[in-house]
Amino acid sequence: MSDQTLYRRLGGRDALASVVDTFYDRILADDELRPFFEDVDMTKQRAHQTQFLSAVAGGPVEYDGENMAAAHEHLDISHEEYDAIAAHLDAALEIHDVPADDRETVLTAVESFRDDIVTIDASPA
């Protein structure tokens, strides 16, 4: 693995924005997950997600979006739905030729927010 930051290995902001576009295209095509985004400004959402992934990947940005718990508390997201979203992220990263070890690093970083995002089914099955 390179000494570069994960952010650089992933290709920087433009590459992450492409991953995010693929990620949300997959989510919006998913009948189970699409309802979470029915009243969401997707242009703004995609920009926030790109900023978030850039920050967790060690990029030169700080995530200035809403606190994760506050942003998700009203959504009633289950562990199963969270897992489906994570699977779409993994698939989007793979589609963009991100190596398996870097995909795992991204997913591990995102996983650290599970407790803030999942608001029902307090413990995984």
CATH numbers and ranges of domains, the chain: 8-117 (1.10.490.10)
Q: What is the pLDDT of residue 17?
A: 97
Rg of the chain in Å (alpha carbons): 14
Q: What is the pLDDT of residue 64?
A: 65
Per-residue pLDDT of the chain (125 residues; tens, 9 = 90+): 456 889 999 999 999 999 999 999 999 999 999 999 999 999 999 999 999 999 989 998 777 666 677 778 778 899 999 999 999 999 999 999 999 999 999 999 999 989 989 988 645 44
Full-model pTM? 0.88
Which of 69, 16, 71 has its CA nearest to residue 46? Answer: 16
Contact of 82 with 114, CB cutoff 8 Å: yes
